[in-house]
């Protein structure tokens, strides 16, 4: 059993992007250290450095006071460090048991995997979360068939199966429901008694204050604060996390929901159903900025992508009272829709192509044959300055941009088409605080002044409250609650996200 | 999640499809060639099938781990040309053994070269093994520019005629291979293969030695290609630098028929073995079906394309169901 | 990088003789030979740019098929030339379309699908020709392709055609929506779809076009040499892929240009010529080509490391 791990002055960059410039962290046995930071602060990079998945460019790791270097994830494992990722380290085609025991399967005397022992020990592990499963989870289930919360639980079981002394929980509660989170925290308490150390990477304040003993705050790749959790409160933590308070204190001045309801209905959705949605119905008025809330993975992405024509659905969608059915994003685009997807690297950008190519991708057809590239460049430059895009030039690859600026490119390519309906999937994820403020101003202007209809999903409650006229909270593929005006509060949002029934709130 | 029962079942038993196909093919063959199961015919058939079977086993393992090996035909050709020139028609059994041993080393070496570029330098498997296939084919041509040479007649005859316990020699070879595979499958290494083929990055983060696993599969493929080269040399008794070329595509087809996913992580070795036999049976059927010689090449090629397309077509129908 | 290689390759012929005229003749010779590889590699360039391990291994057999078809259809008559050209373009496009269908709808990997189709096309050739081919090239073809435009400009027309061809392909890649979309799907199909690109249609179009371009290559080839045989197109297949790689197009897709491929074709033709001059047998040529491609992808084709 180890006793302590220190990370001092860690530096890490990915290509041109600096993820960590001065990361510091200390964790000891029998304590839970919360590693806190906004998106893009370097939290995940820190945990990846500690568990050997990425190479650090500068700084030092100390195990029990002795300098140590992890040349591979195996080395970190050997040192007794386990990490629970957000279900990224499971092999979908293999079973629960195979995934948990991979590389450490109990063997018989012939060097073969001892199947009976595997089954027995897997069942023991599964028993730790007994009572919180939705499906009949057994060792031979294939990972691909499991819902996200159970995949997450398997990740947790996998991490503790070799009895590590340090467990890193990297946003491990994101997919879990409240019962499972409680069970996890019970286990964490038990682990502390056994002498383990835990690093809890998260940005959920409520959970942090429930479970942590100490805290470390990262901001823009640097550790800006550390100490005992009892000596600090939520507001101070938030202040450490962000530079300007103004962003979170951002409240839209001027008219809110009441006036908007008088305007015409721009988008009407009736009983939208497919693999991820179980009958979603709602209306959005022209010029409204409606938010979608709820824990991640409850169907928000499905909703946005279905409306955009990317996923097939059954049900009715009406645009300005005319029924539409989009079979391909191109159809949706023709009717004035735009989608800013949730994962810009995978879904929103062509990473190795130039900024110009990215901005123009949906719009080339407008420029004739042969393409009048100079006109395209002019328009692209206009959009760029309109959005305050900081770039070296239109021909630079989009990979050279910071997160916030890259997201501007994604939004920019749609603004060039003057869309009527904007669908946004967590647009400020991984975006720095200054750019966030610019986005808020932009979205507000687009809806209030320009009369665009906006449907926005955000995993950030403050953002939803500050930006939106109304919020539709989704849970398990359906709209669970609609909050607006006085009912649009943080407590109600969280309650509705967790599936609490109407009567519990007020 | 609603997964149909059929899907779950076929996921667990990918070789079932191969078995059905095999039975079907054999049935048709029996119609065209009624004495198919007579000892002599069976023996003759099996030794013709054996090179492809060996190749398919190696290919299956490489594909399982997420790669592919286009150079197997070239490696088999090199082995054939080495044996044909070095041992020759007048060679002694001792020389034969020596060069058999050397051939296996050649196979391992060729596999190691592939493995180095793919596993360590992280190049794309398809284009890399395509490049090395040219390298190896060229080498085979260099060793033996014109068809000729061969191996001693008595050794070839031994291969042709030996039927221990009244069963073709090929059966024993296949049995040994399957036994070795079933042991391998039950070890940690077996799981590593599936993990690397399933999701290499996740396997890496779980501390699976991905690079070494991938490297190992190319060694195995090279070795099996060498064995295949040996088998085909024993079969034909002579040397020809182009002998391996058509076998490459066939080995991939055999793996696909065998139920393995070309993307890796799914399937086994028994399926591809059956797939290779099925392909051989189909060739038999074509020979016996009295098709015009001019049409033979086309028919064979179309069958291969259909075989390759089959899993895709099946998937297409599956996906149509809501 | 391709430019450097191009310049380098320009220097080498000069080492063969101090006489400027001889050197010029040799350069022209290389260029003339490179034309056909260059045209055949055009389709290859397109499918490789389209990403997802795009490749066209049926190009060699398509070239043979279209050359034979031209030979038979034209049979020495000038009037039939245009018809023959249209027929072979259509034939190439059809084969490419089948490739596209298998790749897009049946999810067969491009390598395997085009390799399989190569066999089918070869089989079809045997059926059509029964081993021997009767026909003839029309004089107008030889005039337009093999001969120079005028005595004062001793460049074979084929080279001029190639330059014109190159400009057209450049236009296609850089100045049409198709071209921009092609690069897009080569980089990231999901982003492309979510930005309105019909990926399925692009795929089918690309492979059909590649087939048609290979067909054009066959037409030109038979116009130049005037003879056909069953192995006419095969020697161009591997070099066509190598030419694309040498020319700087990423084998993973999303980035590249036809000018690079042209330079690559010239370099490869140069290497082949050198080997022939040195009287190296075919086997060595194959090994050198294989080795060259291997070295190239080692430099330019490395994928993301598992550990960053």
pLDDT tier at B98 (50, 70, 90 boundaries)?
A: confident
pLDDT tier at B319 (50, 70, 90 boundaries)?
A: low
CA distances from A48 to A52, A76, A162 (A): 6, 10, 19
| Chain B environment of C122 (Cβ under 8 Å) | 297, 301
Q: Does C181 touch chain A (CB under 8 A)?
A: yes
Read off the pLDDT of residues B148-170 as tens digits, 9 standing for 90 and up.
Answer: 888 777 777 777 777 777 777 88
Residue of A nearest to C305 (CA): A54
Residues 6+ apart with CB under 8 A from A330: A309, C196, C197, C198
Q: How many residues does chain A have?
A: 506
DSSP per position, B121-138: S---HHHHHHHHHHHHHH
In a domain, residue A342? The reply is: no
Residue of A nearest to B9 (CA): A142
Better-predicted residue by pLDDT, C307 or B62? B62
In a domain, residue A375? The reply is: yes
In a domain, residue A341? The reply is: no
Q: Which of C112, C290, C303 lies closest to B122 in CB terms? A: C303
In a domain, residue A449? The reply is: yes
Interface of B with A (CB under 8 A): 1, 3, 8, 11, 183, 186-188, 190-192, 194-195, 197-199, 201-209, 265-266
Residue C281 has pLDDT above 70, yes or no: yes
Residues C65 and C74: their CA atoms lie apart, in Å, by 14
Domain boundary among A365, A391, A418: A418
| Chain B environment of C283 (Cβ under 8 Å) | 138-142, 145, 241
Residue A260 has pLDDT above 70, yes or no: no
Residues A202 and A103 grouped into a single domain: yes
Residue of C nearest to A360 (CA): C180
Residues A60 and A14 grouped into a single domain: yes
Mean pLDDT of all residues in B204-216: 89
Residues A161 and A76 grouped into a single domain: yes
| Chain A environment of B1 (Cβ under 8 Å) | 145-147
Residue A71 has pLDDT above 50, yes or no: yes
Residues A117 and A8 grouped into a single domain: yes
Looking at residue B102, its pLDDT comes to: 92
Give A15's DSSP letter: T
Residues B193 and B189: their CA atoms lie apart, in Å, by 6
Which residue is listed with tokens 């089959």?
Answer: B310
Residues A453 and A395 grouped into a single domain: no
Residues 6+ apart with CB under 8 A from C134: C72, C75
Residues A298 and A314 grouped into a single domain: yes
Residues B118 and B128: their CA atoms lie apart, in Å, by 7
Q: Distance, in angstroms, between A348 CA and closest chain C CA? A: 5
How many C-beta atoms lie closer than 10 Å to residue C124's C-beta?
A: 20
Read off the pLDDT of residues A298-327 as tens digits, 9 standing for 90 and up.
Answer: 788 889 999 999 999 988 999 988 899 999
Residues A379 and A24: their CA atoms lie apart, in Å, by 45
For chain A, the straight-line distance linking the first and the last C-alpha, in angstroms and rounded, comes to: 48
Cβ-based contacts under 8 A for chains A and C: 80
pLDDT tier at C307 (50, 70, 90 boundaries)?
A: low
Give A264's DSSP letter: P
| Chain A environment of C187 (Cβ under 8 Å) | 350-353
Residue C26 has pLDDT above 80, yes or no: no
Residue of A nearest to B264 (CA): A93
CA dihedral A86, A88, A92, A98 (to 10 degrees): -90
Do B136 and B106 touch, CB atoms closer than 8 A? no
Q: Does B306 touch chain C (CB under 8 A)?
A: no
How many C-beta atoms lie closer than 10 Å to residue B242's C-beta?
A: 15
Residues A328 and A452 grouped into a single domain: yes
pLDDT tier at A506 (50, 70, 90 boundaries)?
A: very low
Better-predicted residue by pLDDT, A381 or A85? A381
Task: Record the tokens describing residue A288, joined without a space.
Answer: 């409204």
Residue A4 has pLDDT above 70, yes or no: yes
DSSP per position, A451-485: --EEEEE-S-HHHHHHH-SEEEEEETTEEEEEEEG
3-state secondary structure of A290: strand
Residues A478 and A432 grouped into a single domain: yes
Asked if C180 lies within 8 A of A72 by C-beta distance, the reply is no
Q: What domain range is B81 assigned to?
A: 12-320
Asked if C297 lies within 8 A of B131 by C-beta distance, the reply is yes
C interface test, pick of A370, A376, A399 with most C CB neighbours within 10 Å: A370
Q: What domain range is A391 assigned to?
A: 348-418
Residues A223 and A358 grouped into a single domain: no
Q: Which domains does chain C have, with CATH numbers?
A: 23-299 (1.10.3470)
Residue of A nearest to C182 (CA): A361
Domain CATH number, residue B286: 1.10.3470
Q: Report the mean per-residue pLDDT for chain B.
A: 85
Residues A229 and A371 grouped into a single domain: no
Residue of B nearest to A112 (CA): B187
In a domain, residue B280? The reply is: yes
Residue B132 has pLDDT above 50, yes or no: yes
B interface test, pick of C48, C124, C254, C294 with most B CB neighbours within 10 Å: C294
Read off the pLDDT of residues A439-478 as tens digits, 9 standing for 90 and up.
Answer: 888 998 888 888 889 999 987 777 888 888 889 988 878 8
Q: Report the mean per-residue pLDDT for chain A.
A: 84
Domain count, chain A: 3
DSSP per position, A89-144: S--TTSBHHHHHHTT---B-TTS-B-HHHHHHHHHHHHHTTTT--SS---TT-BGG
In a domain, residue A276? The reply is: yes
CA distances from B195 to A161, A378, B102, B266 (A): 18, 50, 33, 10
Which residues is A17 bridged to in the sheet? A14
Asked if A55 lies within 8 A of C307 by C-beta distance, the reply is yes
In a domain, residue A428? The reply is: yes
Q: Report the mean per-residue pLDDT for chain C.
A: 84
Asked if B205 lies within 8 A of A89 by C-beta distance, the reply is yes
In a domain, residue A343? The reply is: no
Q: Distance, in angstroms, between A93 CA and closest chain B CA? A: 6
Do C66 and C169 touch, CB atoms closer than 8 A? no
Residue of C nearest to B307 (CA): C116
Do A103 and A94 touch, CB atoms closer than 8 A? no
Domain boundary among A209, A241, A273: A241
Mean pLDDT of all residues in B82-89: 83
φ, ψ for residue C259, nearest 5 deg: -55, -40
In a domain, residue B4? The reply is: no
Asked if A310 lies within 8 A of C194 by C-beta distance, the reply is yes
Burial track A128-163 (b if 16+ CB lie within 10 A, e otherwise):
bbeebbeeebebebbbbbbebbbbbbbbbbbbbbee
Looking at residue A498, its pLDDT comes to: 66
Is the dihedral angle over the CA atoms A385, A391, A394, A399 positive or is it negative?
A: negative
Domain CATH number, residue A293: 3.40.50.300
In a domain, residue B256? The reply is: yes
Residues 6+ apart with CB under 8 A from B237: B150, B151, B153, B156
Asked if B124 lies within 8 A of C297 by C-beta distance, the reply is yes
Residues A279 and A377 grouped into a single domain: no
Asked if C187 lies within 8 A of A351 by C-beta distance, the reply is yes
Strands A337-340 and A421-425: parallel
Q: Which of B262, B301, B313 lies closest to C109 in CB terms? A: B262
DSSP per position, A298-347: SSHHHHHHHHTTSS--EEEEEETTEEE--SSHHHHHHTTEEEE-S-IIII
| Chain B environment of C107 (Cβ under 8 Å) | 312, 315
Residue B311 has pLDDT above 50, yes or no: yes
Residues A132 and A146: their CA atoms lie apart, in Å, by 14
Q: Does A349 touch chain C (CB under 8 A)?
A: yes
pLDDT tier at A337 (50, 70, 90 boundaries)?
A: very high
In a domain, residue B39? The reply is: yes
Domain count, chain B: 1
In a domain, residue B306? The reply is: yes
Residues A225 and A259 grouped into a single domain: no
| Chain B environment of C113 (Cβ under 8 Å) | 305, 308
Looking at residue C304, its pLDDT comes to: 61
| Chain A environment of C190 (Cβ under 8 Å) | 346-347
Residue A504 burial (C-beta neighbours within 10 Å; 0-12, 13-18, 19+): exposed
Mean pLDDT of all residues in C47-72: 91
Asked if B206 lies within 8 A of A147 by C-beta distance, the reply is no
Read off the pLDDT of residues C227-250 as tens digits, 9 standing for 90 and up.
Answer: 778 888 888 998 999 889 888 787
Looking at residue B4, its pLDDT comes to: 47
Residues A211 and A200: their CA atoms lie apart, in Å, by 9
Domain boundary among A195, A222, A241: A241
CA distances from A387 to A348, A381, A396 (A): 17, 10, 17
């Amino acid at each position: 059993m180890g006793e302590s791990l220190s990370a001092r002055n860690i530096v890490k960059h990915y290509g041109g992007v600096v993820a960590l410039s001065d990361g510091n962290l200390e964790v000891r046995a029998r304590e839970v250290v919360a590693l806190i930071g906004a998106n893009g602060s370097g939290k995940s990079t820190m945990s990846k450095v500690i568990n050997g998945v990425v190479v650090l460019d500068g700084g030092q790791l100390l195990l029990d006071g002795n300098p140590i270097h992890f040349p591979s994830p195996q080395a970190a494992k050997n040192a007794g460090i386990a990490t629970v990722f957000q279900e990224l380290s499971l092999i979908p085609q293999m079973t629960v048991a195979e995934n948990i025991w991979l590389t450490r399967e109990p063997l018989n005397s012939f060097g073969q995997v001892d199947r009976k022992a595997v089954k027995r020990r897997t069942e023991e592990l599964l028993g730790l979360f007994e009572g919180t499963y939705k499906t009949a989870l057994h060792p031979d289930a294939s990972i691909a068939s499991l819902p996200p919360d159970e995949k997450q639980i398997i990740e947790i079981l996998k991490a503790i199966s070799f009895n590590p002394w340090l467990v890193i929980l990297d946003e491990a509660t994101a997919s879990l429901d409240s019962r499972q989170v409680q069970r996890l925290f019970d286990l964490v308490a038990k682990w502390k008694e056994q002498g383990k150390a835990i690093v809890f990477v998260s940005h959920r304040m409520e959970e942090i204050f429930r479970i942590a003993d100490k805290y470390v705050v990262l901001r823009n790749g640097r550790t800006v604060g550390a100490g005992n959790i009892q000596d600090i409160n939520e507001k101070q933590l938030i202040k450490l996390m962000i530079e300007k308070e103004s962003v979170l204190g951002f409240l839209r001045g001027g008219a809110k929901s009441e006036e908007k309801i008088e305007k015409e209905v721009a988008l009407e959705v009736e009983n939208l159903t497919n693999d991820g949605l179980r009958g979603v119905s709602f209306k959005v008025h022209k010029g409204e900025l409606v938010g979608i809330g709820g824990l991640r993975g409850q169907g928000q992405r499905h909703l946005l992508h279905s409306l955009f024509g990317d996923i097939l659905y059954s049900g009715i969608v009406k645009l300005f009272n005319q029924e539409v059915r989009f079979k391909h994003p191109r159809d949706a685009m023709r009717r004035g829709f735009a989608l800013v997807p949730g994962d810009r690297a995978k879904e929103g950008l062509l990473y190795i192509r130039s900024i110009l190519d990215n901005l123009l991708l949906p719009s080339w057809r407008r420029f004739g044959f042969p393409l009048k590239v100079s006109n395209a460049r002019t328009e692209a430059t206009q959009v760029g300055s309109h959005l305050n895009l900081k770039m070296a030039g239109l021909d630079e690859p989009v990979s050279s941009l910071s997160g916030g600026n890259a997201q501007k490119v994604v939004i920019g390519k749609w603004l060039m088409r003057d869309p009527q309906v904007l669908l946004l999937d967590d647009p400020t994820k991984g975006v720095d605080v200054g750019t966030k403020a610019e986005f808020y101003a932009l979205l507000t202007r687009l809806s209030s002044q320009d009369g665009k209809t906006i449907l926005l999903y955000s995993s950030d409650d403050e953002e939803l409250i500050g930006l939106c006229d109304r919020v539709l909270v989704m849970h398990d593929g359906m709209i669970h609650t609609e909050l607006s005006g006085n009912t649009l509060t943080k407590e109600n949002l969280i309650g509705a996200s967790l599936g609490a029934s109407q009567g519990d709130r007020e | 999640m609603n997964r149909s029962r059929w899907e779950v079942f076929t996921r667990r038993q990918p070789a079932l499809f191969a078995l059905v196909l095999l039975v079907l093919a054999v049935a048709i063959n029996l119609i065209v060639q009624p004495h198919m199961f007579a000892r002599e015919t069976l023996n003759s058939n099996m030794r013709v099938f054996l090179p492809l079977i060996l190749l398919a086993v190696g290919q299956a393992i490489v594909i399982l781990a997420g790669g592919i090996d286009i150079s197997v035909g070239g490696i088999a050709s090199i082995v054939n040309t080495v044996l044909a020139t070095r041992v020759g028609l007048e060679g002694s059994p001792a020389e034969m053994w020596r060069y058999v041993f050397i051939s296996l080393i050649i196979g391992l070496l060729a596999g190691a070269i592939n493995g180095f570029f793919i596993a360590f330098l992280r190049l794309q498997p398809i284009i890399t093994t395509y490049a090395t296939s040219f390298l190896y084919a060229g080498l085979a041509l260099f060793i033996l520019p014109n068809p000729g040479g061969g191996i001693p007649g008595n050794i070839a005859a031994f291969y042709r005629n030996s039927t221990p316990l009244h069963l073709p020699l090929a059966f024993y070879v296949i049995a040994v291979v399957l036994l070795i595979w079933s042991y391998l499958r039950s070890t940690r290494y077996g799981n590593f293969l599936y993990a690397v083929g399933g999701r290499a990055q996740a396997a890496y983060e779980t501390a699976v030695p991905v690079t070494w696993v991938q490297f190992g599969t190319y060694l195995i493929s090279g070795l099996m290609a060498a064995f295949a080269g040996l088998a085909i040399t024993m079969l034909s008794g002579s040397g020809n630098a182009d002998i391996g070329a058509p076998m490459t595509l066939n080995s991939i087809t055999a793996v696909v028929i065998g139920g393995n996913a070309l993307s890796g992580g799914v399937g086994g070795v028994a399926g591809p073995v059956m797939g290779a036999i099925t392909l051989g049976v189909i060739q038999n059927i074509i020979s016996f079906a009295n098709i015009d010689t001019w049409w033979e090449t086309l028919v064979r090629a179309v069958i291969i394309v259909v075989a390759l397309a089959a899993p895709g077509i099946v998937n297409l129908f599956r996906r149509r169901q809501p | 990088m391709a430019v450097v290689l191009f310049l380098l390759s320009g220097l080498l012929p000069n080492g063969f003789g101090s006489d400027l005229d001889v050197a010029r003749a040799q350069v022209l010779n290389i260029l003339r030979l490179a034309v056909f590889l260059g045209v055949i590699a055009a389709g290859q360039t397109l499918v490789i740019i389209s990403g997802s391990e795009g490749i066209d291994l049926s190009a060699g057999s398509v070239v043979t098929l279209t050359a034979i078809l031209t030979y038979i259809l034209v049979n020495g008559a000038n009037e039939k030339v245009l018809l023959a050209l249209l027929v072979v373009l259509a034939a190439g496009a059809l084969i490419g379309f089948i490739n596209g269908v298998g790749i897009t709808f049946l999810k067969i990997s491009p390598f395997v699908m085009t390799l399989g189709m190569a066999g089918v096309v070869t089989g079809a050739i045997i059926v059509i020709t029964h081993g021997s081919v009767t026909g003839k090239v029309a004089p107008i073809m030889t005039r337009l392709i093999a001969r120079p435009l005028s005595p004062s400009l001793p460049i074979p027309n084929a080279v001029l055609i190639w330059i014109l061809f190159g400009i057209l392909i450049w236009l296609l890649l850089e100045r049409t929506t198709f071209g921009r979309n092609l690069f897009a799907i080569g980089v990231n199909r999901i982003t492309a779809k979510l930005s309105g690109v019909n990926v399925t249609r692009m795929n089918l179009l690309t492979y059909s076009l590649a087939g048609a371009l290979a067909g054009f290559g066959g037409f030109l080839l038979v116009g130049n040499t005037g003879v056909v045989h069953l192995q006419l197109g095969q020697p161009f297949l591997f070099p066509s892929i190598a030419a694309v790689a040498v020319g700087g197009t990423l084998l993973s897709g999303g980035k590249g240009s036809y000018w690079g491929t042209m330079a690559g074709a010239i370099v490869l033709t140069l290497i082949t010529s050198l080997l022939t001059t040195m009287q190296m047998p075919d086997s060595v040529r194959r090994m050198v080509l294989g080795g060259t491609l291997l070295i190239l992808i080692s430099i330019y084709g490395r994928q993301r490391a598992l550990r960053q």
